[in-house]
Amino acid sequence: MGRAVLEYESGVIESALAHGSRALVSGVSFSVRAGETLSVIGETGSGKTMVALSIMGLLPENVRMRGGRVALGGRELTPGRELRRRLGVDIVYIPQNGHEFLDPSRRVRRQLYDALRKLGVPRGELASAAEERIRLSGFQQPRELLDKYPFQLSGGEAQRVTIAISACSRAQLVIADEPTNGLSEGDKTGFVDLVSSLFPRSARLLITHDMEVAALGDEMLVLCGGRMMERGRAGELLSHPRAPYTRALLAALVRNGMEETPVLRRGGAECPFYRRCRHGDACRGDMPRRSEHGREWWCGGEL
């Protein structure tokens, strides 16, 4: 592992309402080093995608980032023309649905050519460069694949094509947002391994609600209700989870009996998991204290 490629502080990401505003993400901070995969996990609405969009400067019009900081390679990123130029070159995004990402009216070849031109590949080298990217993405017959339209691809094939397009870059940072949705268990592992092999020196941000996929990362960050609940090395966090929310996520896995979190307390508290947490009475007031041991974070409430 090398230096920190991505340094991130969310500040407060908030959406404008008819009267006032609502915080979507608050107090989330992390860094990702070269060659490292950070898995960001949480339920729908936990703030995972908002974090990704804020890094790329692509937050919705009614959402703003207040007091945050994003730095890539030690240089701060601010939304605007310069950041847009870096998207697809220094920062690449792999979506959760390859079919929705690809242009249905254009052959795969033309879409790869567009990405390669942005990278500065000469016209005479486009065909060979496109075939190489497709081959590296796991296709045995690259020429045949390049002549297909997206609707002729399976879900897994479309997803691998998006990886091939992402590989037409000088990526310092790879953001994969729920990229394994709809894939079989074996394909999920293969997908994460493929991204790691194609971008070995990049910082990789893997956003998922799937604990099995998150476990494939080097580090793991657990979000709930836009707040950071726990962080640590993936293996250590999964074997010795400290936050009640992380324990609940693990208990909900099929292999652990799919245990529900039925507690629904009245009122509210600073912790977004308060109403469902069996230990919530211990932290009714403020957000539970978090302690840092090395690079590991956890909720510090009494368990």
Q: 65 near 11, Cβ under 8 Å?
A: yes
Q: What is the pLDDT of residues 113-149, one digit of tens each?
A: 999 998 899 999 999 999 999 998 888 888 999 999 9
Predicted model pTM? 0.86
In this prediction, residue 2 carries a pLDDT of: 58
Q: What is the pLDDT of residues 147-172, one digit of tens each?
A: 999 999 988 889 889 989 999 999 99
Backbone phi, psi, residue 274, to 5° = -55, -45
DSSP state of 149: -
The C-alpha atoms of residue 6 and residue 141 are separated, in whole angstroms, by: 36
In this prediction, residue 98 carries a pLDDT of: 85
The C-alpha atoms of residue 3 and residue 260 are separated, in whole angstroms, by: 40
Q: What is the mean pLDDT of each run of 10 residues along the chain (303 residues)?
A: 85 92 94 96 92 95 94 91 89 88 94 92 94 90 93 89 91 91 75 89 93 92 92 90 88 78 74 82 63 50 42
Domain 4-90+170-299 in CATH 3.40.50.300? The answer is yes
219-224 and 37-41 strand pairing: parallel
The full set of domain ranges for the chain reads 4-90+170-299
63-66 and 296-299 strand pairing: unpaired
CA angle 97, 100, 101 (to 5 degrees): 85
DSSP H or E stretch at residue 8: strand 4-9
267-297 burial, b if ≥16 CB within 10 A, otherwise e?
eebebbbbebbebbeebeeebbebeeeeebb
The C-alpha atoms of residue 292 and residue 39 are separated, in whole angstroms, by: 18
CA distances from residue 4 to 9, 33, 73, 272 in whole angstroms, order as listed = 14, 4, 7, 29
In this prediction, residue 303 carries a pLDDT of: 39
Residues in the chain: 303
